[in-house]
Amino acid sequence: GLEFLLHNSSMDSSIWIIYVQNIYAHLFRTKASDSELLWIQRLAILLWIWNIISIFVPIVYGLFILAADIVFVIVLPQLICAVYFKWTNSYGAITGYIVGVLLRVGAGE
């Protein structure tokens, strides 16, 4: 099982590299830098993951609950800190993100 996941992950990344190099770099942005192509590849992988998650959620209400969990547990505390506290920095945001994810995953349904 684990070996399949590792090979599948590498294959998916390779497919997105081909997509970014052959389609995005040649059709949309011919003068794109390597860092821009890397960010486009990361965005494409995230969009692919979101699509797979949406396929396996049986009802639309489940997607709403998933999005609400992500917003209220992970994103909202960082937004409040960034807006109202001047001493907030990126280290605190990253730590808050990790703690929020761990608490959400640990709490379960």
What digits encode the pLDDT tens for the residues 29-47? 888 888 888 888 888 888 8
Mean of the per-residue pLDDT values for the chain? 77
Task: Inform me whether the pLDDT recorded for 51 exceeds 70.
Answer: yes
Q: How many CB atoms lie within 10 A of CB 31?
A: 6
Do 51 and 2 belong together in one domain?
yes
pTM: 0.47
If pLDDT is split at 50, 70 and 90, which confidence band does 60 have? Answer: confident
Name, in order, each residue with C-beta under 8 angstroms of 92's C-beta and a sequence gap of 6 or more: 81
Do 52 and 100 belong together in one domain?
no
Do 43 and 21 belong together in one domain?
yes
Domain extent, residue 70, equals 58-109
pLDDT on residue 12 = 65
Do 97 and 109 belong together in one domain?
yes
Q: How many CB atoms lie within 10 A of CB 90?
A: 8
pLDDT over 70 percentage in the chain: 85
Do 103 and 52 belong together in one domain?
no
Q: How many domains does the chain have?
A: 2
